Structure 1
Amino acid sequence: MKLILSVEPVRFPLTGIGRYTYELARRLQQSPEITDLQFFAGRRFLPSLPTAADQSGSGYGLKRALQINFLAVEAYRLLMPLLRKRALKGHGDFLYHSPNYYLPPFVGRSVATFHDLSPFTWSHCHAPQLVRYLQKELLTTLGRADALITDSQYTRRELAEYFSWPIERIHTVPLASSAEFHPRKPQELRNTLARHGLEAGGYSLFVGTIEPRKNIETLLDAYCRLPLSVRTRWPLILAGYHGWQNETIHQRLETAQREGWARYLGFVPSEDLPLLFAGARLFAFPSLYEGFGLPVLEAMSSGVPVVCSNSSSLPEVAGTAALMCEPMDVNTLTSLLQRGLEDESWRSAAIEQGLQHAAGFSWERCAMETLQVYHKVLESR
């Protein structure tokens, strides 16, 4: 099998899609079934699999500037497919896989991974010009793809229903947490946590982009209803990319920090993140909508109990190992947070159950099931 894998998502900031792309690429490199694996990004082939930097380069600043300029976005949308088509010329005997929605013009067979439908179903949570770009590109991908991959059964059904796309050509391949996410002893965590002003077991954690879809205001509403002694003993720590449409959230975080019960760390370097997870007393993730919800699995793999919403794909990811409630139910969320922090019997059972549940997901399984999709596409010729 000859494969071209787009590795463009492997860049700063390394989001869930970047992590998925990197881990999948590493496993595909080891597969004897792939006789020729080429990595592609932008409009060129790369000599090797890239790694994500922990800080943005000049290209990232340019990308953010383009996203706020409609004419620049539209010019990019129209020009890049032509440049990519030229670069891919002569590779029609390869299968092309985009792990991040977009498929360029390509004469061979192609597969795209759709992680969620937020540009369509949660468009109000994105910048308008970005939504226009994404919607046009994703619709183009649907016209080009021979098959689609989703991270969850929820997104598979949503994708088939929303676009009337044949569900038999949509394949669910779950993600996994990486090996760095595992339980750790307090002495292993001390130095890293100290740099962030934290102690092992001394905080609750939320990890994700600071944006409306993550439902952070509801989390703050629920957390501030905890007894003062509880929320100051285990303050809420938030880590992730700064995000968008979040002025109110950041204002509330500044107030909560002055009151001593919450703090925003910003974007945390990738080598620190597994230790930040492992040191948490509780992981809280009341997101409104997730295509998968990888941080929930990363917390469980780290031996940390989880409280999350029961929305979208999260019940698939969390199984029965987490405490769950409706995402906007502030009172129930408060009670679950308190139980998650104080109920030692539940915590012990949740840690054990979470570790067992997370062990059922692996990047090896992800790669194997992705290869099965490739074979189905090639056999359908």
Structure 2
Amino acid sequence: MPTVCIDCRYIGPRPSGIAEVVRGLIDHLPALAPDLHFRLLRHPAHPGALSRAPNVSEQVVAAAANGPATMWWLPRAADLSGVDLFHATFNTMPAGLGMPCVVTVHDIMRLTHPAWCRPGVRGGVERAFYGHGLRRAIRSADAIAAVSAATAAAIASYHSPAAARTAVTLSGVSDRFRPQPPEPERIATLGLSPWRPFVLTVGQHAPYKNQGAALRAFALAFADDPGIDLVLVQRQGAGTRPLERLARSLGIRDRVRFLPTVDADDLVALYGAARVLLHPSFAEGFGNPVAEAMACGCPVVTSTTSAMPEVAGGAALLADPHDPAAIARQLLAAVRDPVQAAAMREAGLVRARALRWRDFAAANLAIYRRVLSSHHRQGIAPAAPSMS
């Protein structure tokens, strides 16, 4: 039975979009491929097993997913004996692997638009470090799984020979994101007024998220309507202060609420209560908040660029992310026109139901089988059985 090793260490104590992707993958793969054995590399802080499937084993790896050990000497940090195929799930291809490797690439912004990523000295170090692993993946991986057609196109544009090794494995959305009855008590515990309408923006504080344009567009759209707020869910820190200053200069500081990362139940409640999700990113590999909001019945205004139109599938209103006035017009259409909003909710629910993690897992499985078959035809012997 061939063994596929999947790096699942992003599933840990800290919520992330990549963790959602990996969770969607391993929830469905074992049942889709009973003829394969899956060895999952697990974060030491994860409570208990990642899977109870009979064709799954797990190995706790203490080395950080995004650390030097993963980048340059993973075979020393993890027991990879008996592995026939390795799946690196977060952009970086480890060095020194003795078996074929599939790499999931979420986006390549660090290579194509470094100014959109984390600024400062730390950002420069991250761009150099992650860019190294990403370039290795694009040039050397046996196969690349791109989470959207937009990401696949970006890879092909950056390094055309990689196009032949790239396949689209469109991400999905978890079943926990679904329409729910109003939860005013939960909204109140987040420090918000349960009955006050709000526009919602979700995402880490990074330049590519374009949150300054979200503030400017909100100010333009609702300058004459003090009865609506803007709620930004993001990792709080030094990056919040410039947004607070901008909100003050726009005259809307008292209507902007900053929330730290919230748990999944709180996020579902926020999507359900928001009048609209505003997601004006310059680029996304996929854009989880767009899919999550649609699955919860929340209208979406997002960008005309990158993966956002692909993910929205015609169910959202789109605007040029560089044009706050255009974003403002779409916000007003979603909030002030009940017929428009109702149509967007229904279209969003239909689109979200088409973004299934089972399909995502099946697309990855097709890549595994293709790579395994190719290496078998080339006469490469399978790995020796693992003693673990």
Question: Which one of 163, 167, 170 corresponds to residue 167 of structure 1?
Answer: 163
- Structure 2: runs of 5+ lacking an equivalent: 52-61, 376-388
* Contact kept? 2:3, 2:82, Cα under 8 Å: no
The answer for the alignment partner of 1:220 in structure 2 is: 215
Q: Look up the SS of the partner of 2:177 in the other structure.
A: coil
The answer for the alignment partner of 1:94 in structure 2 is: 84
1:28 lines up with 2:19 in the alignment: no
The answer for the alignment partner of 1:133 in structure 2 is: 129
Shift of 1:344: 0.6
Residue 337 of structure 2 aligns with an amino acid whose one-letter code is: D
Judge which range, 357-366 or 221-230, deviates more.
221-230
Query: TM-score under structure 2 normalisation?
Result: 0.84
- Structure 1: runs of 5+ lacking an equivalent: 51-59, 64-72
Shift of 1:379: 1.4
Query: TM-score under structure 1 normalisation?
Result: 0.85
1:179 lines up with 2:175 in the alignment: yes
Residue 171 of structure 1 aligns with an amino acid whose one-letter code is: A
Using the alignment, how far apart are the partners of 2:48 and 2:194 within structure 1?
A: 42
Shift of 1:250: 3.8
Deviation string for 1:12-38 (max 9, x for gaps)?
431111111122122224334353211
Return closer, same or farther for 1:46/1:322 CA change in 2, 3 Å cut-off: closer
Shift of 1:111: 0.3
Using the alignment, how far apart are the partners of 2:312 and 2:325 within structure 1?
A: 21
Question: Which one of 92, 98, 112 corresponds to residue 107 of structure 1?
Answer: 98
The answer for the alignment partner of 1:354 in structure 2 is: 348
1:263 lines up with 2:264 in the alignment: no
Shift of 1:237: 0.5
Deviation string for 1:209-239 (max 9, x for gaps)?
1121111111111111123453x32211010
The answer for the alignment partner of 2:202 in structure 1 is: 207
The answer for the alignment partner of 1:311 in structure 2 is: 305
Return closer, same or farther for 1:289/1:246 CA change in 2, 3 Å cut-off: farther
Give RMSD over aligned pairs.
Answer: 2.9
Using the alignment, how far apart are the partners of 1:200 and 1:298 within structure 2?
A: 22
The alignment-based identity, stated in percent, is 26
Residue pairs, 1:1-381, within 5 angstroms: 1-41=2-42, 48-49=49-50, 77=68, 79-81=69-71, 83-88=73-78, 91-104=81-94, 105-124=96-115, 125-126=117-118, 127-186=123-182, 189-196=183-190, 197-199=192-194, 202-230=197-225, 232-242=226-236, 247-253=241-247, 259-381=253-375
Residue 150 of structure 2 aligns with an amino acid whose one-letter code is: Y
Using the alignment, how far apart are the partners of 1:147 and 1:34 within structure 2?
A: 21
* Contact kept? 1:3, 1:34, Cα under 8 Å: no
Residue 27 of structure 2 aligns with an amino acid whose one-letter code is: R
The answer for the alignment partner of 1:66 in structure 2 is: none
Residue 220 of structure 2 aligns with an amino acid whose one-letter code is: R
Shift of 1:200: 6.2
* Contact kept? 2:24, 2:172, Cα under 8 Å: no
Using the alignment, how far apart are the partners of 1:244 and 1:176 within structure 2?
A: 32
Q: Which runs of at least 4 in structure 1 moved beyond 6 Å after TM superposition?
A: 254-258
Residues paired across the two proteins, number: 357
